[in-house]
Amino acid sequence: MSQRWVYGFHELDEATEAVGGEWDDVRGLLGGKGANLGDMTRLGVAVPPGFTITSEACNAYLEAGEKFPDGLNDQVSSELRQIEEMTGKTFGDPTNPLLVSCRSGAKFSMPGMMDTVLNIGMNDEVVKGMIEVFDDTHFVLDSYRRLIQMFATVVMGVREEPFEDALADARQKRGVVSDSDLTSEDLELIVQRFKGLVERFAGREFPSDPTEQLTMAVEAVFRSWNGKRAFAYRNAAGIAHDLGTAVNVQTMVFGNMGADSATGVCVSRSATTGEPRLEGDFLMNAQGEDVVAGTRQTSTIDDLAREMPALHAELKNYADALERRYRDMQDIEFTIEHGKLWLLQTRDGKRTAQAAVRIAVDLVSDGIINKTEALTRVTPEQIEFFLHPQFDAAAKNEAKSDGRLLTTGLNVSPGAAVGIVALDADLAEKWAEERQEPVILVRPETKPDDVHGMLPAAGVLTSSGGRTSHAALVARQFGKPAVVGAAEIMIDMSAKEFVVNGETVHQGEWISIDGTTGEVFSGQIATKVPDIEDPWLMGLLAWADEARELDVWANADYPDDAKRAVTLGANGIGLCRTEHMFFDPARLPVVQDMIMATDRVSRRDALDKLLPLQRGDFADLFRAMDGKPVVIRLLDPPLHEFLPDHGELTTKVTDLKIRLTSAKDLEMVDDLLREIEEAERLLQRVEALHEANPMLGLRGVRLAIVFPELPAMQIRAIFQAVAEVQAEGVEAKPEIMIPLTGNIAELQPMKDLADELAAEYVEHHGVPVEYKFGTMIETPRAALTATELAEIAEFFSFGTNDLTQMTLGISRDDAEKNFLLEYLQRGVLETNPFDTLDAGGVGKLVDMAVSDAKAVRPDIKVGICGEHGGDPASIALVSRMGLNYVSCSPLRVPVARLAAAQAALASQEEAAAE
């Protein structure tokens, strides 16, 4: 007996047994689609009967030099007979014909594989019989011409154009715009012309034998496995070439058979909000493609509930069953043929970020999945949705209904943006400033020269370029919503306008772009910031907190940020940048006095003025974080950052001197001379502080070593703030962090200073001050000497921004302007190392340092602060390295909480697998 090559959808159990019981092997044998159709059938869902030709048959066919293996023809015939029995129809019988579709279906879905051929089984005779039986000449002839057209193009390899030309010709003659308005006479002629086209372009007649049609279609699917595009795709996606594809042959059902027929699509829960109710569209008396084509006004599933309540209830039952079976929200295609509901396909539905969160949480409430699974159903990137303004869903739907959707491009940088169109960067910059209106920069593509116009823009839209184009990279970098590669947009610079799908948008007119979906609309659409306190999100994040191993802290410099961070779930402040407190306009003059001081006494005077202000800053932070740790980094940036810019000062001096030449009265001369002297004194100091590479200059602990009164003031302020808030019953947990350490000999004097001031505290207050002492790890040398640093540091915080700059030798500001984007575009780098931690270099250093430090001080706390702390891929990386916490900006805390949970789950899974 020959091998079994064919399984009916109703014979899934036999197929399962044949491969030994594993579902994955079933999918290998029957393909994803075939296995699914079988599974739905077994579930009792009304799936049009059919059968699957196995992928093994495909391989056998290809191996034998494109020859059907023994027994295949017989088995197909036998299965056809069974379907005929089930449906009461007969393949090729004009009086009661069985029509079938034929589709490819490999284990993994794959572009480049053969598409669908519908209506197999029709020929002139069958058409005649059907016209009699169905009493709908137009439908039958239309189905026939569709078969010929699809068969010719998909199976016989004829080009599409001559068929389309013929249709256009007929429409023109008849004076109509839609194919559906052609008369039956027209269609009869078209069928004749199509047959002629087949003969002319394929070199043979359209096969009238239904069995030959089916055989040819199956062979076409088999051969398409080795098609050029499918082959290249498998190479790129790493799919084995010897899997083969299965073929699904399925009874045709028709939604266009009158008022009791319909076709539609629906999702089991709202794809927009996640609400648990059927949502979708259908068309009465129509075929599937009509729904997709959008040429007729569809009805909603709610209409179906009103018009065909029983069928709606049946659909809802099926949807529930399928959800439970596939354990996710389902996207279902259905057809109603003469009042009978058939399900053609189901798959996991696409959804918005908001819906993804609610669905994951609701599926747990419904007992369909558990919390752990729910955590993997939402990506950290989807949490980001809640951070960006979005279009109001109703307003956006309205815009769509109003036909204001201009085109859709690539969704490369999420968020919604509304603004007036500027077609060049200079204008974008100018308008953003002068008109005080948001601007959308619209360009064919962007270049480094355009960045000055991208930064002030609300959003960016380009007509060319892909996901790694300059525009995409820059926009993501700076968090600007962007749509790129919207190829339908034709920009006419001379006319100062662009044309898209026949519509013209002039420079200065409003458009709205959705970087989350890639949609481009004319006019303004209302936006709103999503509710970050969405109850489903809060619920999901609470589960994330149970699952994660990493602590999530926030970078916050002000009490308001700190409060916000706590609301968003931060367990502490991982980085308080004290310099931000120095930039306060009210304090800056005092800070400048300190810098301009030429001796210790006047420097100390200025610091004495700053001390109570810093104490107040810290006290407020402790109050906001009551009981949670607050890591305070001592002053880090180079001093020149607190002084005016060199260029500004030079210009000022020049201006003053020019005014001096035209000054007429002596008082004015005196004033000017005084001003000049003052400005020149400042200038001199700025010049003295000038550094060729400030990144690698006098900052961080180096400042503290050179001006020890500076850290002394800050540490005193911290300790005094502790005393202040403790009196109010607030629990302060300060952690003093030294920046830019590279040498134990730098850290030790800071530790000694802290000890000394802590001793002062005991003397004054009679009780010790509780604090931790630690260091940032920002220089490669710090990481390399972790063993030594851990001797006195109770915690490490990897400042991965600077550590990346130094380890890679890349100055971030310069590089993003220069070569970094080019590196990403050329694929020299896969990800921007300032977005995602460079595992091979920086990650290796971090890993070494953590191991070394823990060997010396097993209870040392290690974390990262800086932007990587909010990046999911980086969080996964550091979670694997055994870090204790990440610290990120307050808004990204929810993203980090989920990413940390997923990282922990992935590790557990890995551990379990071993």
Residues at the contact surface with a second copy, assessed by CB under 8 A: 691-698, 702, 705-706, 740, 742-743, 745-746, 749, 778-781, 784-785, 788, 802, 805-811, 813-815, 818-819, 822-823, 826-829, 838, 840-842, 844-845
Distance of closest approach, residue 634 Cβ to a second copy, in angstroms: 16
419 versus 843: smaller Cβ distance to a second copy:
843
Distance of closest approach, residue 650 Cβ to a second copy, in angstroms: 8
The owner of tokens 């949490």 is 383
Q: 3-class DSSP state for residue 125? A: helix
Q: Catalytic pick from 58, 576, 865, 888?
A: 865
The owner of tokens 């129509």 is 286
The neighbouring-strand residues paired with 417 are 513
Distance of closest approach, residue 688 Cβ to a second copy, in angstroms: 9
CA 856, 861, 865, 869 dihedral sign is positive
CA 905 to chain centre: 21
Distance of closest approach, residue 654 Cβ to a second copy, in angstroms: 8
Contact 442, 464 (CB under 8 A): no
177 versus 745: smaller Cβ distance to a second copy:
745
> How many Cα atoms are found within 13 Å in the side-chain-facing hemisphere of 712?
15
Of 313, 311, 312, 350, the closest CA to residue 329 belongs to 350
DSSP 8-state symbol, 208: -
Distance of closest approach, residue 819 Cβ to a second copy, in angstroms: 5
32 versus 739: smaller Cβ distance to a second copy:
739
545 versus 822: smaller Cβ distance to a second copy:
822
210 C-beta neighbours (distance < 10 Å), count: 23
* HEC readout, 282-293: EEECCCHHHHHH
Determine which helix (DSSP H) or strand (DSSP E) holds 776, and give its type and residue range: strand 772-777
Q: Provide the token pair at 257.
A: 């058979």
Q: Provide the token pair at 188.
A: 């009869």
DSSP 820-837: HHHHHHHTSSSS-TTTS-
Distance of closest approach, residue 817 Cβ to a second copy, in angstroms: 8
Q: Provide the token pair at 479.
A: 């968090």
Q: CA-to-CA distance for 615 and 609, rounded, in angstroms?
A: 11
Alpha helices (H) in 340-423, listed in sequence order? 353-365, 371-377, 380-384, 393-401
Q: Catalytic pick from 470, 576, 640, 868?
A: 470
Contact 20, 220 (CB under 8 A): no
Q: Provide the token pair at 702.
A: 């180096």
239 versus 784: smaller Cβ distance to a second copy:
784
CA 567 to chain centre: 25
Contact 442, 513 (CB under 8 A): no
DSSP 8-state symbol, 599: S
363 versus 634: smaller Cβ distance to a second copy:
634
Q: CA-to-CA distance for 792 and 51, rounded, in angstroms?
A: 72
Distance of closest approach, residue 254 Cβ to a second copy, in angstroms: 56
Backbone phi and psi for residue 416, each to the nearest 5 degrees, phi listed first: -105, 145
Q: Helix 535-547 crosses helix 353-365 at what angle (to 10 degrees)?
A: 70
CA 816, 817, 820, 823 dihedral sign is positive
Residues 6+ apart with CB under 8 A from 350: 271, 331
Determine which helix (DSSP H) or strand (DSSP E) holds 798, and give its type and residue range: strand 795-799
Distance of closest approach, residue 469 Cβ to a second copy, in angstroms: 17
557 versus 816: smaller Cβ distance to a second copy:
816
Residues 6+ apart with CB under 8 A from 505: 406, 421, 497, 498, 499, 511, 522
Q: 3-class DSSP state for residue 712? A: helix
Q: CA-to-CA distance for 159 and 164, rounded, in angstroms?
A: 10
Q: Provide the token pair at 588.
A: 């800056």
339 versus 697: smaller Cβ distance to a second copy:
697
Distance of closest approach, residue 457 Cβ to a second copy, in angstroms: 21
239 versus 696: smaller Cβ distance to a second copy:
696
Distance of closest approach, residue 758 Cβ to a second copy, in angstroms: 22
Strands 410-413 and 573-577: unpaired
Distance of closest approach, residue 431 Cβ to a second copy, in angstroms: 24
868 given a catalytic annotation: no
* HEC readout, 486-532: CCCEEEECCCCEEEECCEEEECCCEEEEECCCCEEEECCCCEECCCC
Q: Provide the token pair at 62.
A: 């290809």
Determine which helix (DSSP H) or strand (DSSP E) holds 6, and give its type and residue range: strand 6-8
| Furthest C-alpha separation in the chain | 118
739 versus 890: smaller Cβ distance to a second copy:
739
Distance of closest approach, residue 799 Cβ to a second copy, in angstroms: 11
Distance of closest approach, residue 744 Cβ to a second copy, in angstroms: 9
DSSP 8-state symbol, 785: T
Q: CA-to-CA distance for 288 and 310, rounded, in angstroms?
A: 21
470 given a catalytic annotation: yes
53 versus 789: smaller Cβ distance to a second copy:
789
Backbone phi and psi for residue 244, each to the nearest 5 degrees, phi listed first: 75, 170
Q: CA-to-CA distance for 104 and 109, rounded, in angstroms?
A: 9
184 versus 743: smaller Cβ distance to a second copy:
743
Q: CA-to-CA distance for 475 and 518, rounded, in angstroms?
A: 14
Residues with catalytic function = 470, 865
